[in-house]
Amino acid sequence: MSNCSCVPFKGTKEQQKKLEAAIEKYKDQSGALMPVMQAAQDIYGYLPIEVQKMIASGLNVPLEQVYGISTFYAQFSLSPKGKYAISVCLGTACYVKGSGKIFERLKTVLGIDDGGCTPDGKFSLESCRCIGACGLAPVLTVNEEVYGRLTVDDVDKIIEKYKALD
């Protein structure tokens, strides 16, 4: 998981209102932190420092506690999803067919780590487990689009294609 997001925070007033409502709903219960963090993940799609500070202040818990939990559970993300969210299958079939190398190539080309997002917010990258397309191994998805039987050279072409789009 990437530890920092270089994407500027663009939270809206409405999102903040929703988060404040979630905090209000849970704040007097014990164990309020998890449901509030889950709500925040739903509202913002990720948990940047600005959001974690709102949670820490709202629930009167240490920021480090929020951060510790956000990095412990895979369900929380510190980076936003990009406009084009790339998922590379590292399941067994794809992996033996070389998806590890494809994933590495993507990291180099995009300059981000697993779970990261490019500073312009265009691409995010994550590894995933079997998506049930083993016949096409190795596969990756860009949003809903599936790309199969890939070689490392295909990676650059796919990225170029989306870069050319808006």
Region binding other proteins by CB under 8 A among candidate stretches 14-22, 36-44, 63-71, 79-87: 63-71
CA-CA distance, 102 to 95, in Å (whole number)? 10
CA-CA distance, 11 to 15, in Å (whole number)? 6
Position 34 contacts other proteins (CB under 8 A): no
Radius of gyration (C-alpha) of the chain in whole angstroms: 18
For other proteins, the closer CB: 29 or 57: 57
For other proteins, the closer CB: 74 or 165: 74
For other proteins, the closer CB: 48 or 121: 48
Give the one residue of 21, 29, 34, 72 binding other proteins; rule: CB under 8 A. Answer: 72
For other proteins, the closer CB: 117 or 140: 117
Least spacing, CB of residue 79 vs other proteins, in Å: 12
Contacts of residue 8, defined as CB under 8 A and 6 or more positions apart, other chains included, come to none
Position 63 contacts other proteins (CB under 8 A): yes
| Beta-ladder partners of 107 | none
CA-CA distance, 91 to 78, in Å (whole number)? 23
Least spacing, CB of residue 68 vs other proteins, in Å: 4
Position 53 contacts other proteins (CB under 8 A): yes
| Kind plus residue range of the DSSP H or E element containing 64 | helix 63-72
Per-residue three-class SS string for 80-102: CCCCEEEEEECCHHHHHCCHHHH
Indicate the SS3 state at residue 26.
helix
Position 75 contacts other proteins (CB under 8 A): no
Position 108 contacts other proteins (CB under 8 A): no
| Kind plus residue range of the DSSP H or E element containing 123 | strand 123-128
Q: Please, which of residues 4-33 interact with other proteins by CB under 8 A?
A: 4
Residues in contact with other proteins by the rule CB under 8 A: 1, 3-4, 49, 52-53, 56-57, 62-68, 71-72
